[in-house]
Amino acid sequence: MKKFNLDPDNILPPLKGRLLIASPFLEDPYFSRTIIILCDHNDEGSFGFVLNRYIELDLPDLLENLPETAGRISLGGPVENNSLYYIHTLGDLIPESMHIGGNLYLGGDFGIISKGIENETIDSSKVRFFVGYSGWSETQLDDEIKERSWYVRNLNDLPVMDTVRDDLWNEALKGMGKPFANLAHFPADPKMN
């Protein structure tokens, strides 16, 4: 009989620009089978955005006078879910942006982004919007990783700006190698298997 490792070791520490992938055994209904882009991780805490949860609203539904965008709006997390956040791949074109990692940036001058999308000088697929964010106090995230609630992965070639795909969690696990790829096939409810 073939055996699978249901508890593979994950040796990467959480860092800004890395991904958190929920273990298939994480029972938190909000974070079950989610992927989070870490936008910051330091001694004071961590924050990021859930990449694979969406709301059925368009940007103008959230705030008046905002243009339509190409992608879906993401539910970034349970913290401050009355606020709009964004990441982008526009780099230094957007003043006051914070580099996250690779070609990803957080925030910056929203007026430039909004006007650019409206007059089509900025491709809206290069900006991804989130309602709310996910946050952890001081050592909370490190503790959750030790409890194996989360796996940490480098960004590599995962398409974090893509809001069309619904298989990002599976793809992220498979991209971590065979022991993790096996977990991508673990049923959401083992009792129903």
pLDDT tens digits, one per residue of 83-107: 999 999 999 899 999 999 999 999 9
In this structure, what are the phi and psi dihedrals at residue 83, rounded to the nearest 5 degrees?
Answer: -120, 150
**pLDDT above 70 (res 192):** no
Q: What is the pTM of this model?
A: 0.89
Compute the distance between CA of residue 152 and CA of residue 158 in angstroms, rounded to an integer. 13
First to last CA, the chain: 18
Paired sense of beta strands 104-106 and 127-137, if any: unpaired
Contacts of 11 (CB under 8 A, 6+ apart): none
pLDDT of 1 reads: 46
CATH top-level class of 19-192: alpha beta
* Residue 21: predicted pLDDT: 95
20, 144 contact by CB (below 8 A): no
Each residue of 39-62: pLDDT tens digit?
999 999 999 999 999 998 887 788
> Cα 22 from chain centroid?
11
Worst-scoring range by mean pLDDT, 55-59, 149-153, 167-171, 181-185?
181-185
pLDDT value at residue 158: 85
Indicate the domain borders of the chain: 19-192
pLDDT at 70: 76
Name the strand (E) or helix (H) holding 182: helix 178-183
Q: In this structure, are residues 181 and 173 in contact, taking their beta carbons and an 8 Å threshold?
A: yes
Percent helix, strand and coil across the chain, each rounded to 5?
Answer: 20, 30, 50
State how far Cα 153 lies from the chain centre: 12
